[in-house]
Structure 1
Amino acid sequence: MTTFLNQLPALIGVIVGVLGTLLTTRLNERAQWERALSVRWDARRLDAYSEFGRALKEVHLLAHRLTASSRPSSRAHPIDRAAGLELIAQADAQRTKAWEGVLLLGDADTVAAARDWRWAVLQLERGARGIADDDFDWTAAVRRADERRDRFYVAARASLTVGSGDVAQARWLVDRQMNS
């Protein structure tokens, strides 16, 4: 019995060491799993945000092209009305599909910013189709869409924890127009 009691501290040390190793290994594996899961969701979120941005920007560009002939200062390449309306319908269908990815994967701030940008581009699309309100102002609508796009990208970048600084385009575009 005295031999056992003499070896008891060593045995307790081994048991504590094994339990500590198991706990450390478990916590380490859990942290690795959470990092892998975060990377996987971030990649999917990036794809959803990018797809939505491309689809919405396509509608925006087609609206510019549809109205280019009626805006003398436009730099957009005019497009035939029938072809443009068909292309805008296709782009809008893509935007609708991409929207589902943003709703599924986006955080609340990004979804709200995406909704605002989508609404602003819808106003441009309505203007291009000739169904906008009587007080529709193209320049103000474009500026609003550009500002909402910037808000979407700020929210999306925050959601993805991309921290490389301000990449806003709306101010740059306004400054560029004033200097032309």
Structure 2
Amino acid sequence: MDTITQLVTIAAVVLGGLTTYMTNQLMERSKRKDSLRVRWDEKKLDAYVEYVGSVRSCIYAAVLAYEVTHDLRAMPRTEHELLMDLTEAEGRRALAFERLMMLAGDPVIDAAHAVNSATLAIDWRARRLVEGPLEEWRALHTEIFRAINVFHEVARADLGVTGGFVGDRHTSRGLILPETRTPSPGE
């Protein structure tokens, strides 16, 4: 075997080794990148679910407070206790929103701002900071569930979830309001 053949063989072995090394490095880098993306997607999903759950807790607490403050329901708990529950729920919603702000992009954050505005409108009615008839109260609930559905759609798109839901049929399913009260003969 002459020297040129040996050099070609050595060069082929070195080239093969370098190619294998580079391929392995690129594959590992791709795996790390995918792992990081999945980890952040999991964190986003947790943040989005926590946020919507905290919003729904606020709505539920506001409904109970509203029903008691407007004499639509009698409960063994005082108005003050119910309003304190609402205050605590609002605090959890605010913290969940801050976590969402750290992980989400602009479309999700914009949708969450709309949800926050609608949630606060319900909160203010329950606290009697803003007055209005029961029909307006119901309209606020329709709006909050519409805003939650928009948030769901934007969050699903952000997470790369295919499919979706549209229309008002989902919005009306979320309403947890009492029936319209008819006054008794003495009222």
Question: Residues 72-122 of structure 1, C-alpha deviation per residue, up to 9 Å, x if partnerless?
Answer: 6xxx98664222101000101111111111010111111111111011111
How many angstroms apart in 2 are the aligned matches of 1:77 and 1:144? 26
How many angstroms apart in 1 are the aligned matches of 2:19 and 2:174? 62
Query: Structure 2 vs 1, CA of residues 120 and 36 (structure 1 numbering), >3 Å: closer, same or farther?
Result: same
Aligned to 1:158: 157
Aligned to 1:54: 53
The answer to whether the 8 Å contact 2:149/2:171 transfers is no
Normalised to the residue count of structure 1, the TM-score between the two structures is 0.83
Q: Give matches, 1:126-137, under 5 Å.
A: 126-132=124-130, 137=136
Aligned to 2:182: none
Structure 1, 96-105 or 62-71: larger mean CA deviation: 62-71
- Identity, % of aligned pairs? 25
Aligned to 1:118: 116
Q: Any stretches of 5+ residues in structure 2 without a counterpart? A: 180-187
How many angstroms apart in 2 are the aligned matches of 1:33 and 1:77? 57
How many angstroms apart in 1 are the aligned matches of 2:49 and 2:107? 16
State the secondary structure of the residue aligned to 2:2: helix
State the secondary structure of the residue aligned to 1:48: helix
2:46 counterpart of 1:10: no
Question: Residues 33-63 of structure 1, C-alpha deviation per residue, up to 9 Å, x if partnerless?
Answer: 0111111111211121111111111111111
1:131 is displaced (CA, Å) by 1.3
Q: Any stretches of 5+ residues in structure 1 without a counterpart? A: none
Structure 1, 12-21 or 125-134: larger mean CA deviation: 125-134
Cα RMSD, aligned residues only? 2.8
How many angstroms apart in 1 are the aligned matches of 2:115 and 2:92? 15
Aligned residues: 173
1:124 is displaced (CA, Å) by 0.6
Aligned to 1:40: 39
How many angstroms apart in 1 are the aligned matches of 2:53 and 2:166? 16
How many angstroms apart in 2 are the aligned matches of 1:130 and 1:24? 66
1:169 is displaced (CA, Å) by 8.2
Query: Structure 2 vs 1, CA of residues 23 and 37 (structure 1 numbering), >3 Å: closer, same or farther?
Result: same
The structure richer in helix per residue is 1
The answer to whether the 8 Å contact 1:66/1:84 transfers is yes
Q: Which runs of 4+ in 1 moved over 3 A?
A: 69-72, 76-80, 133-136, 167-170
